Structure 1
Amino acid sequence: MERLPLEIGSPIFIQSLENKSVKARSTVIGARHGDFIIIENPVVHFSDRLFSKLSGSISCHYLHEGDLYEFMSTIRYYGKEDFAVIEYPPEFRLSQLRKHHRIYVNIEAMLRVPRERESFKGILTDISSGGCQVNVSTILFLTKGTECFLSFTLPDNTLIDSIKSIIRNIKIDKRNNSTEVGFEFFQDQEQLQSITRFCRFCMFFEV
């Protein structure tokens, strides 16, 4: 039996096999190879007061270092301390995710260019684990390769603060007095991991 590269604290996505529209996000708490996996309670929230626990046969999706591990399991039981025990899979399917899958968003962003005195407000229109696109309502006379810093808050309320970004493409729209800028994120592994987690979450839940 092959070993899953499970890490405590890593997210795992659960889907009911009885109703595939029912999905939940959980976290790996522990595991015993070949026996069981312990996760936080996989709870589906329909509203602030209405929720349901998953039960029976489930499909699991686990992300690790850019690889997606998919396997079938069964919820063995729920513990009293807000955790669930599921069966360790006898087999799993491994596939690589697209590294830079675009997620379309509409997020306010702040663009800072080191040589400029002022910062520019813009709208982040798409984002991936590798970069993003920002629309600014003014003409920016910048060139490819310019180093900038972007700040914005992801829809999951994660703050991305002054992440270093390099301009990879720029398009000026004189008619609408705007500039469309494509950025590649650079360095800052902690913030990049937050962006990657958000993008993968959206990919799984087809946001």
Structure 2
Amino acid sequence: MPDDRMNPRSVWVLVCEDDDELGERVAAGLRAAGFIVDLTRNLADAGRNCGTRRYDCLIVDRGLPDGDGLDLIRRQRESGLHMPALVITARDSPADRTEGYASGADDYLTKPFSLGELAGRVRALCARHLRPPAQVLTIGDLVVDRLRRRVQRNGVLLIMTAREFCALELLAARAGTQVSYAELAEYCTETTTVATIEDVVHRLDRKLGEPQLIYATGAGYLLHM
């Protein structure tokens, strides 16, 4: 039976944008694409909404009247909520992007942007978050067989410890999005400290070889081909 959550008409999105015209256009565009949308214009209102409703995706601006939209993402991550978060902003420097990912953002879209692209990114983020993971994960030349607990890179079988496989399994299942230290610690229940996670991922990265697949984001790691 199909999962109704994969239908964008059942996906609830919170938009936090202080520009009245842009906020209304974004909300209208997402509603036209089939999403249910709540529009807020500051962190205080957005925080209150998040406290009373479980959203499937957050879309936040950075330059808000009462602070940086990244603060909302940080608070949600610290409270244990891992819904996808997309930043829309005019700040487009590499340092700004790095800060966004380090704060827990899953995607970063700079202004100006098309409403079609925004809706497509939201749909893709939610689909990756809600879709049951496949038994065999393939990212480029990397193959992770979750059932047999086997890993191959470019056809070569790689020997993994239980912790290394656990970390790789989560990173591969979430390929293209940041996985935080907290998420890795929760998924790999015996790996509870940042130092231990860093050690496990460092050893995993060496075993995977070149070209590099795993990148540190400051708040976790990202697996990307």
Band the TM-score falls in, shorter-chain normalisation? under 0.3
CA radius of gyration, larger in: 1
More strand by share: 1
